[in-house]
Structure 1
Amino acid sequence: MKKIVIPFTIIALLAACAAQPTAESTESTEPTYEAHKQASWLLGRWENKSDQGNLSEVWEKKNDSIYIGASYFEIGGDTVFSESIELIEKEGVLNYVVTIADAGQGPTAFKLTKSSDSELVFENPKHDFPQKITYNHKGDSVIAVISGKQQGKPHQETFAMKKVN
Structure 2
Amino acid sequence: MKKLFLLITLQIVNLAFGQSKFPDYLQGTWKMENKEIYEHWDKMNSQILKGFSYKLKNGQMEISEHLEISQRNNQTIYTASVINQNNGKEIRFKLTKTDSTFVFENPAHDFPKKISYQKLSDNEIFVQVSDGKQKGFSYKMTKQNIKDTTVANPNYDKTLADKLGGDDYGMKSYFLVILKTGTNKTTDKALINESFRGHLDNINKLVEEGKLIVAGPLGKNKNNYRGIFILNNIKNIEEAKELLQTDLAIKNQLLDYEIFTWYGSAALPEYLPFSDKIWKLNP
TM-score band by shorter chain is: 0.5 to 0.7
Structure 2-normalised TM-score? 0.41
Tell me the residue number matched to 1:114.
97
Distance in 1 (CA, whole Å) between partners of 2:41 and 2:89 is 20
Q: Is the 8 A contact 2:116 2:127 kept in 1?
A: yes
After TM superposition, give the deviation of residue 83 of structure 1 in Å. Answer: 0.5
Q: 1:4 maps to which residue? A: none
| 1:159 corresponds to which of 136, 139, 142 | 139
Are 1:35 and 2:15 matched, yes or no?
Answer: no
Mark the runs of 5 or more structure 1 residues left unpaired by the alignment: 1-33
Pairwise CA distance, 1:107: 0.3
Instruction: Give the TM-score normalised by the residue count of structure 1.
Output: 0.67
Q: Is the 8 A contact 1:35 1:89 kept in 2?
A: no
Superposed displacement of residue 75, structure 1: 4.2
Structure 1 residue 70: deviation in Å?
Answer: 0.8
Q: Which position in structure 2 is the counterpart of 1:64?
A: 46
C-alpha change, 1:133 and 1:49, in structure 2 (3 Å) is closer
- What is the alpha-carbon distance in structure 1 between the residues aligned to residue 84 and residue 128 of structure 2? 22
Q: Distance in 1 between matches of 2:37 and 2:49?
A: 19
Mapped partners of 2:70, 2:49: distance in 1: 7
- In structure 2, the CA distance between the partners of 1:41 and 1:93, relative to structure 1 (3 Å rule), is same
Distance 1:135 1:49, change over 3 A: closer
> What is residue 29 of structure 2 aligned with on the other side?
45
Q: Indicate how the Cα distance of structure 1 residues 69 and 80 shifts in structure 2: closer, same or farther if over 3 A, else same.
A: closer
Runs of 4+ in 1 over 3 A off after TM superposition: 74-81
Structure 2: how far apart are the matches of 1:146 and 1:106? Answer: 19
Say if 1:47 and 1:163, in contact at 8 Å, map to a contact too: yes
Q: Secondary structure at the match of 1:130?
A: coil
Deviations 1:98-155 (A, max 9, x none): 1111212410000000012x31000001111000001111111111110017xxx831
Identity in percent: 31
| Residues 1:145 and 2:128 are matched in the alignment | yes
Partner-residue secondary structure (3-state), 1:127:
coil
Shift of 1:48: 2.5
How many residues are matched? 124
- CA 63–80 in structure 1, closer or farther in 2 if over 3 Å, else same: closer
Query: Mind listing any 5+ residue stretches in structure 2 that lack a counterpart?
Result: 1-19, 146-283
Q: Relative to structure 2, which stretch is displaced further, 131-140 or 67-76?
A: 67-76
1:88 to 53, 62, 70: 70
Matched letter for residue 128 of structure 1: D
How many angstroms does 1:71 deviate by? 1.1
Residues 98 and 113 (structure 1), Cα distance of their counterparts in 2 relative to 1, 3 Å cut = same
Greater C-alpha Rg = 1
Aligned residue identity for 2:72: K
Instruction: Judge conservation of contact 2:103–2:116 (CA < 8 Å) in 1.
Output: yes
Alpha-carbon distance in 1 for matches of 2:109, 2:61? 25
Q: Please give the alpha-carbon distance, in whole angstroms, between the structure 2 residues aligned to 1:75 and 1:154.
A: 31
1:49–1:138 Cα change, 3 Å: closer
Contact 1:35–1:92 under 8 Å retained in 2: no
Q: CA RMSD in A?
A: 2.1
